Structure 1
Amino acid sequence: MASYSIRLSLLVYLAMFITSEAELGQPKETKLTLHFQDYSGGGGPNATAVQITGQPNGLLSFTKFGAIFCTDDPITQGFDLSSTEIERAQGLYVTSALHGSNTHVLISIVFTNEEYKGSTLEIQGSSAQFERVREVATVGDTGKFHLARGLTFETIHHDAAIYHAVIQCNVTILHY
């Protein structure tokens, strides 16, 4: 009797899953190129990334093992800072390699533009911070985005004098 109940439960669940997928139709593919406008600012008032542990004399220490940074970067459509903001990158970076070459990234990309407002992409993983192109896992999503995949970060501009970097993010998203 228990075996019959289990089989019936599985059949009902499978029928619900197939019905849900059929109602949604085929997923759409959206490819986005996003530009993180990162200002570490030496800890100044306009900084969008600040070190929250191990900060000696206000100088940022991106290569110090155990350093933790909090970020709230504007993300724009284009390379220029004056380009339209479409989302925010909010989260943490932790320098996780003893030799300082890797950070562990925990970021929520929170969409603020009308088309995708309220949707998020959740990013987590190891990032070789001094490599030009890095791939980091998309581990979750909300709102209009489902099944996000293929996310890369690429540093395309760095100006140490004004503590500004532009990090291009390329992502492919399958959604309904």
Structure 2
Amino acid sequence: MAGGKAALLLLLCAAVLLAPASAADDGLTKFKLYWHDVLAGTSPTAIRIAQAASTNSSSKDEIGRAQGTYTFADQATFGLLMNMNFVFTAGDYKGSGLTIYGRNEVLSAVREMSIIGGTGKFRMARGYVEARTMDSGAKSGETVVEYTVYVKAAAA
């Protein structure tokens, strides 16, 4: 019985300590960005390492770079494992970054992946992104994906 009371007391103390942090944490930031994956032409932004045997305007100002990898992760569907950092080089978030990780089932209209961290203005970030393919790149060699970002970060 004493062990149960001690555990309950510990749980209540933890809840009291965590409550102020939760109440003060209301700063959700939402924005959109467009990811261009160019495999063709004279200035590709991605290279194919291996292949199985079988706005969304690029004229807009660049605000950053996507850095990371994606690998096929499913034998039945067109599912990718995404490991990606959005590194901001201009604009309001210059010098900051977001880390995205998760499954990207490319043929789905909307895919959701986790934000698992960040740097700069996005330090201690958590949230998610919704990805929507705007152009599959079948004709142009340039895939364009709209990312809607929902993120909370620690106050600086």
Asked if Structure 1 and Structure 2 have the same fold, meaning a TM-score greater than 0.5 normalized by the shorter chain, the answer is yes
Native 8 Å contact 1:111 1:117 kept in 2: yes
Higher strand share: 1
Q: CA deviation at 1:26?
A: 5.2
CA separation in 2, counterparts of 1:94 and 1:162? Answer: 22
Q: CA deviation at 1:47?
A: 1.4
Identity of aligned residues (%): 29
CA separation in 1, counterparts of 2:135 and 2:146? Answer: 9
- 1:18-46 Cα shifts (integer Å, max 9, x gaps): 8xx6xxx65532211110112121xx532
> Aligned to 1:85, what secondary structure does the other structure show?
coil
CA separation in 2, counterparts of 1:26 and 1:125? Answer: 24
Match of 1:52 in 2: 49
Q: CA deviation at 1:107?
A: 0.3
Match of 2:133 in 1: 155
- The answer to whether 1:107 aligns with 2:106 is no
- The answer to whether 1:174 aligns with 2:152 is yes
Match of 1:72 in 2: none
Find 1:90's aligned residue among 49, 67, 76. 67
> Aligned to 2:42, what secondary structure does the other structure show?
coil
Native 8 Å contact 1:90 1:108 kept in 2: yes
- Where does 1:1-176 land on structure 2 (aligned, <5 Å)? 27-41=26-40, 44-54=41-51, 78-145=55-122, 146-175=124-153, 176=155
> Aligned to 1:115, what secondary structure does the other structure show?
helix
- 1:34-86 Cα shifts (integer Å, max 9, x gaps): 10112121xx53211211134xxxxxx5x96xxxxxxxxxxxxx211111111
> Aligned to 1:50, what secondary structure does the other structure show?
coil
What is the letter of the counterpart of residue 46 of structure 2? A
CA separation in 1, counterparts of 2:44 and 2:109? Answer: 22
Question: Any stretches of 5+ residues in structure 1 without a counterpart?
Answer: 1-9, 55-60, 65-77
What is the letter of the counterpart of residue 108 of structure 1? N
Native 8 Å contact 1:148 1:171 kept in 2: no
Aligned residues: 136
TM-score, with structure 2 as normaliser: 0.75
